[in-house]
């Protein structure tokens, strides 16, 4: 009789213990364990391009401070000038604290966007914005490493470019952090970017 009662208790007890173990496993798998180092990302990488001033710029030149990367082209009718204006406003809001910050504007249209064209175009924006161009092969390589969509679209008077409009946030070691929202108030966006210094 005692054995029957133990047997009847054993099954619910065993079921309870298995449930506790499974719940523990589920909780552990859902917990976001913060790492000291960000997870290595496959976005970004080495590049060698030319600035609007004719200087050679590589990813190594940007180490030591966070930077933003935006891909576009000088014949862009709306998205690119709007984004560059927002980037300029962020840098203005950052003031002297933002002297180390850099924003890269990388062309997806190397046929038309020579360093001279980029210099003229970017003269309307903050001087901390670096325009980068290069050979079609060099541009294709950075477009691929940042996983950017860019495609030439024929028009009645030539062509335009479809392209990714995301702004990439890279940390001080040149590693991809996330997309960066420039649509916020400039002081809010500046404070966010400065927090990565």
Sign of CA dihedral 107, 72, 143, 87: positive
Instruction: Kindly state the DSSP code that residue 55 receives in the 8-state scheme.
Output: -
Among the listed residues 97, 53, 74, 118, the one whose alpha carbon sits nearest the alpha carbon of residue 191? 97
Binding residues for Cu cation: 76, 80, 163
Residue 166 corresponds to which tokens in the numbers above? Answer: 């995301």
Binding residues: 76, 80, 163
Residues in contact with 3: Cβ distance below 8 Å, sequence separation at least 6, in sequence order: none
DSSP string, 10-34: HHHHHHHHHHHHHHHHHHHHH--PP
| Parallel, antiparallel or unpaired: strands 158-163 and 150-155 | antiparallel
Residues in contact with 193: Cβ distance below 8 Å, sequence separation at least 6, in sequence order: 66, 68, 90, 94, 98, 101, 169, 180
């Amino acid at each position: 009789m005692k054995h029957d009662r133990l047997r009847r208790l054993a099954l619910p007890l065993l079921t309870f213990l298995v449930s506790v173990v499974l719940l523990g496993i589920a909780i552990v798998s859902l917990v976001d364990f913060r790492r000291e180092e960000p997870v290595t990302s496959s976005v970004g990488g080495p590049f060698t391009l030319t600035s609007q001033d004719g200087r050679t710029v590589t990813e190594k030149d940007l180490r030591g401070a966070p930077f933003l990367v935006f891909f576009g082209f000088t014949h862009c009718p709306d998205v690119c000038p709007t984004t560059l204006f927002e980037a300029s406003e962020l840098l203005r809001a950052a003031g002297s604290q933002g002297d180390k910050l850099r924003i890269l504007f990388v062309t997806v249209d190397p046929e038309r966007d020579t360093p001279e064209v980029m210099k003229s175009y970017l003269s309307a924006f903050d001087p901390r914005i670096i325009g980068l161009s290069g050979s079609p092969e060099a541009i294709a390589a950075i477009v691929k490493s940042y996983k950017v969509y860019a495609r030439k679209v024929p028009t009645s008077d030539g062509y335009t470019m479809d392209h990714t409009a995301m702004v990439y946030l890279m940390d001080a070691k040149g590693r991809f952090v996330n997309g960066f929202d420039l649509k916020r108030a400039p002081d809010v966006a500046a404070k966010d970017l400065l927090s990565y210094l």
